[in-house]
Structure 1
Amino acid sequence: MRIFSGIQPTGRKHLGNYIGAIRQYVEGQDRGDPAIFCIVDLHAITVSYEPAVLRERVYDTTAILLAAGLDPERCILFRQGDVHEHTELCWLLSSVTAIGELNRMHQFRDKSLAQRELVSSGLLFYPVLQAADVLAYKAQEVPVGEDQREHLELMRDVARRFNSRFAPEDGEILVVPEHRIPEVGARIMDLQEPTRKMSTTGGTPEGTVYVLDEPKAIEKKFKRAVTDSGNEIVKDPEKPGVSNLIDILAAARGTTPAAVEEEMRTARGYGDLKVAAADAVRDMLSPVRERYEELRGDEEALETALETGAEKARAIAAQTLAEVRDAMGVGPRR
């Protein structure tokens, strides 16, 4: 099975990124044939940014992924901007993508409201480039968080529409991918505002747990986590704060929310749940933070890993692009 997923370049990865995406990458690198992971610097330029900061954040993200357990010998890890096939395929796929579909994307509507000076066309085309990222590698599986489900459905529609229009009757050119969303922890919420997703940009500083947080910072944030009325520790739509803590604890331990509820039947109150969640998250993230410190200082090694991965990625993407160009009548006949 071929696996592909992309991740935004920022060193400020939070707990939701780790549980919903990064940990899935590590678990998938031995299932994938190959498993391909991309740091999407081209997506990052659709909003306001500083060029020098972007380059630093690519290295930050690379170091975090390697610290979490990604091994360039067991997967393909590369920087999106190094493989030009992504942008050409994006343009070709735009011919089978409806503008109305892009206008209806929730992330476009939300992010465009925040761009007061300029709403870039790149923000609108973000899902088309995202489709090209995945379809270039004919990936069957895409590990994503719950918030990317809408974009995944769009790329599935794009692949079907392309095949219907350009593929031979007895086959397909582009693979229609399936999502892989974790059963536990697919949507980690802000500890201070548990009705909102944990976020680097839109969350609260006290409610966002970062992968690189020191242990005492993690403990402090969980200690101050907002809970709910009553004292029963159960998952319930009416108890978003407690439900979020149960999900986090279950995900960090690799167990189920039901098992956490059973364990917490003898708890003295929400304080015990907060302590247990903090301990589990600290134990899960501390090795990553320590390994990151070792890796981040060697930018030459990080760059070498990305360049090597790009060569491997380019060999796959170039073949798909050639097939797409030929089917669409672009350029000389193969």
Structure 2
Amino acid sequence: MQKTRTKTRVFSGVQPTGNLHLGNYLGAVTRFVALQAEHDCLYCVVDLHAITVFQDPDELKYNTREVTAAFIASGIDPTRHIIFNQSQVSGHAELAWIFNCVARVGWLNRMTQFKEKAGKDRENASAGLYVYPNLMAADILLYHATHVPVGEDQKQHLELARDIAQKFNNDFARTIARAGYDGGFFPLPEPLITGPATRVMSLRDGLKKMSKSDESDMTRINLTDDADTIAKKIRKAKTDPEPLPSETKGLEGRPEADNLVGIYAALAETDREAVLRDFGNASFSKFKESLAELAATRLVPIGTEMKRLMADPVEIDCVLDDGAKRAHAIADPILAMTKDIVGFIRS
């Protein structure tokens, strides 16, 4: 009897590296919330990924809870879907080792994120940073996830996950067939790239991605900023001397204007065309005032709830513990079958 899969399952993760900001919210978290309606979802705080560069242990714990609080405060329901931290499910690391032996060095050498993060001093980068994409593949495939919401900068890693799944299915085709799986054991996950602001840029440089690691806090809007701080940052956001155009073509060559219009569109759950119909030919001062009001309306309640949750870490830890148990229930049989397929003897 052939085993087939019909249910869609989404997996995605966020690194607990502190200072969650508008880019994280619009580029990932809002998408996570929307996907709950149509998919079974697993949302992971990827603390194993975080330690590819050194993390202060106390800060790592704090940041793991903060990401969890952001998930819940933004509207992810931990009773209907699974929120957990990666290190509580050992299958991620176990499957990553198997994939280290499936993936080819040439594939990893083409990963642009390693080149960017390691910089010129690649010899001093951790081995974990180099094989990071194999762990990402394990994160996804450990749950037989069918879809992954990714930004443009992670799309290459998802393509690698598909390559690893395909090679595993080919390498072990006979064993997989004997186990009764139709079309391979690991599914080839599909990317979900949606929304008008999948890539949010710095408020001070429209060519640079908004980042938690930027030295200046004025480059980003943090999820815990209050309304006055949000308004101040938007007022001081870099623009150009021209008024807003009335059509999207007029945003070409104007990265800061395009970024602010994209942020407004994402927060208002509309598109750039609609924003420019309302604000075309308006001054930036008028537009920024409306953007600040919209941003505060959307973000301040989230920040308030995050602060409430962070004041009671026991509540957050209970969510993570429950999520890990439910993640184990999905992952453990898949990992066990993977070991059988590879040829490991299990007790």
TM norm structure 2: 0.91
- Asked if structure 2 preserves the Cα contact closer than 8 Å seen for 1:192 and 1:204, the reply is no
In the alignment, structure 1 residue 104 sits paired with structure 2 residue 110? yes
Query: Which of 298, 320, 323 is equivalent to 2:337?
Result: 323
How far did 1:324 drift?
1.3
Q: Spell out the pairing of 1:67-216 with structure 2 (5 A cutoff).
A: 67-113=73-119, 118-167=124-173, 168=176, 170-202=182-214, 204-216=216-228
Query: Which of 222, 227, 233 is equivalent to 2:239?
Result: 227
How far did 1:209 drift?
1.0
Deviates more, 1:8-17 or 1:304-313: 8-17
**Alignment-derived partner of residue 61 in structure 2:** 55
Query: Which of 299, 305, 313 is equivalent to 1:285?
Result: 299
In the alignment, structure 1 residue 15 sits paired with structure 2 residue 14? no
- Asked if structure 2 preserves the Cα contact closer than 8 Å seen for 1:228 and 1:240, the reply is no
Q: Which amino acid is 2:141 matched to? A: L
Q: Which amino acid is 1:293 matched to? A: K
| Alpha-carbon distance in structure 2 between the residues aligned to 1:156 and 1:113 | 26
* Percentage of identical aligned residues: 39
**Alignment-derived partner of residue 244 in structure 1:** 259
| Alpha-carbon distance in structure 2 between the residues aligned to 1:83 and 1:244 | 38
| Alpha-carbon distance in structure 1 between the residues aligned to 2:259 and 2:195 | 14
CA RMSD of aligned residues (A): 1.7
How far did 1:171 drift?
2.6
| Alpha-carbon distance in structure 2 between the residues aligned to 1:225 and 1:283 | 19
Query: Which of 256, 262, 277 is equivalent to 2:277?
Result: 262
How far did 1:232 drift?
3.7
Q: Deviation digits for residues 124-156 of structure 1, max 9, x if unmatched? A: 011100110000011111112222111111111
Q: Secondary structure at the match of 1:96?
A: coil
- Asked if structure 1 preserves the Cα contact closer than 8 Å seen for 2:244 and 2:281, the reply is no
| Alpha-carbon distance in structure 2 between the residues aligned to 1:237 and 1:195 | 12
* Structure 1 runs, 4 residues or longer, greater than 6 Å off: 114-117
Q: Secondary structure at the match of 2:124?
A: coil
TM norm structure 1: 0.94
- Asked if structure 2 preserves the Cα contact closer than 8 Å seen for 1:76 and 1:309, the reply is yes
Q: Deviation digits for residues 273-296 of structure 1, max 9, x if unmatched? A: 222222211111011011112211
**Alignment-derived partner of residue 24 in structure 1:** 31
Q: Which amino acid is 1:274 matched to? A: K
Q: Secondary structure at the match of 1:206?
A: helix
Q: Which amino acid is 1:86 matched to? A: H
| 1:320–1:186 CA distance, 2 compared to 1 (3 A) | same
Q: Which amino acid is 1:276 matched to? A: S
Q: Which amino acid is 1:187 matched to? A: R
Query: Which of 309, 332, 336 is equivalent to 1:295?
Result: 309
Q: Which amino acid is 1:213 matched to? A: D
Query: What 5-or-longer segments of structure 1 have no aligned partner?
Result: none
